[in-house]
Amino acid sequence: MDIQEIKQRFGIIGNAPELNRAIEVAIQVAPTDLSVLISGESGVGKESFPQIIHSFSHRKHGKYIAINCGAIPEGTIDSELFGHEKGSFTGALTDRKGYFEVTDGGTLFLDEIGELPISTQVRLLRVLESGEFIRVGSSQVQKTNVRVIAATNVDLTKLIREGQFREDLYYRLNTVPIKIAPLRERSDDVLLLFRKFASDFAEKYKMPSIRLTDDAQKVILNYRWPGNVRQLKNITEQISIIETAREITAVCLIHYLPSENVELLPALYNKPSDEKTFSSEREILYKILFDMKKDMNDLKKLVNELMQDGQASKIHEDNAQLIRKLYQESVDDYQTSSPPFSGSVIIKNAGHENIQDTEEFVEESLSLEDKEIEMIQKSLDKHSGKRKLAARELGISERTLYRKIKEYNIE
């Protein structure tokens, strides 16, 4: 069975190399009895990989049980995993088999293994090393043949340093590590997952499937997705049910993304905005930076020409030196984000008192706001004041352009 067939069988969506590699490792380790530790952030789909390993192992006809260690109270987790004897504690009215006893000959998946208490970790280590365990309240040693697959969304090495996880248990579990990449590192899979979820919910709720506009696709690709695939699925379901329009714009999509997790690029102004236009403003920022770089390169070229002209007069040499100095200062200001140099400098030949000619050199403002105003004015002049054409050239909406014209009092 190839990887695509396995993805279809276990409902795994995506073509990222990291995801394919994780599936390959799961298939390779499945025929063995080695312990496997699956790591990855919450919501990446770790629960699919123990099923793959169990299905392709010689234990596939045995039981497969998945346990969330974080969902079991500390006082009862030993009883859940290893069983207990009647009367061993209050409420123990009968003997009870634990998961290690019930799953004998099969596979036990321990999710959120980092939540296990230290005392339970000791018991688990003994099972992994010798296959032996003791029920709570009993003194009789029992044997079991269970393959353990563990998963965690936390850094176990950090818990080891903090004394919350046993180092020997970590190395016993981590015989074969499988790491599942977060969704933000699988950007090519985001749109694929969205379309699949949208299609599934359209079929489930008997309605047309939703689709994203180009600007909404940029938003969904730039978002970090802290909840990974689970969060993307939930948001897709919300939009499918709540929104009446089937074409989802960026403004609509942003309402469903937690604002504290939306990564915005540096704003061009500090005034409140009546719409989410960070993608368009980012494009303006890029244009501004490219123009600044071009202007600085032109200035550098001018300085080099003046300095290489051996026939230039003394005044030109003096001017070239000063221009070169100003150019370096502008570079330093730009790199350190210090307030831009503004004003004018009168350049005179100190060695020729009778020369009346003066040259004024005006340092161009490096303010992003000034650059934005300048670009808007140039675009409006170019298109004879037609805002629709100007907005299209600037890469922003006509509404955003109108707001900026009003904000900056552009004639």
Per-residue pLDDT, 265:
36
Residue type, 319: N
pLDDT-based confidence at residue 406 (cuts at 50, 70, 90)? confident
Per-residue pLDDT, 63:
96
pLDDT average, residue stretch 292-296: 68
pLDDT(29) > 80: yes
Per-residue pLDDT, 388:
83
pLDDT-based confidence at residue 366 (cuts at 50, 70, 90)? low
Token duo for residue 78: 């030993």
Same domain? For 188 and 177 the reply is: no
Same domain? For 188 and 296 the reply is: no
Per-residue pLDDT, 310:
52
Contact assessment for residue 391 and residue 385, using Cβ atoms and an 8 Å cutoff: no
Q: Which residue has the higher pLDDT, 355 or 331?
A: 331
Q: Is residue 409 part of a domain?
A: no
3-state secondary structure of 79: helix
pLDDT(90) > 80: yes
pLDDT-based confidence at residue 354 (cuts at 50, 70, 90)? very low
Q: Is residue 46 part of a domain?
A: yes
Distance CA 172, CA 170 (A): 5
Q: Is residue 396 part of a domain?
A: no
Q: In whole angstroms, what separates CA 97 from the centre of its chain?
A: 43
Same domain? For 136 and 194 the reply is: no
Same domain? For 92 and 137 the reply is: yes
Distance CA 283, CA 264 (A): 13
Same domain? For 159 and 200 the reply is: no
Question: Exposed, middle or buried: residue 350 (CB in 10 Å: 0-12, 13-18, 19+)?
Answer: exposed
Q: Is residue 39 part of a domain?
A: yes
Residue type, 254: I
Per-residue pLDDT, 283:
57
3-state secondary structure of 366: coil
Per-residue pLDDT, 328:
62
pLDDT average, residue stretch 336-357: 42
Q: What is the CATH number of the domain that holds 230?
A: 1.10.8.60
pLDDT average, residue stretch 95-124: 96
Q: Is residue 398 part of a domain?
A: no
Same domain? For 173 and 56 the reply is: yes
Same domain? For 22 and 104 the reply is: yes
Q: What is the CATH number of the domain that holds 48?
A: 3.40.50.300
Q: Is residue 12 part of a domain?
A: yes
Same domain? For 147 and 40 the reply is: yes
Per-residue pLDDT, 269:
38
pLDDT(359) > 60: no
Q: Please give the residue range of the domain that contains residue 305.
A: 286-365
Same domain? For 27 and 149 the reply is: yes
Same domain? For 231 and 135 the reply is: no
Q: Is residue 266 part of a domain?
A: no
Same domain? For 55 and 138 the reply is: yes
Same domain? For 67 and 91 the reply is: yes
pLDDT(396) > 80: yes
Please name the residue ranges forming H helices in 162-276: 167-173, 187-204, 214-222, 228-242, 250-254
Per-residue pLDDT, 125:
96
Per-residue pLDDT, 185:
93
Distance CA 93, CA 388 (A): 78
The tally of domains found in the chain comes to 3
pLDDT-based confidence at residue 404 (cuts at 50, 70, 90)? confident
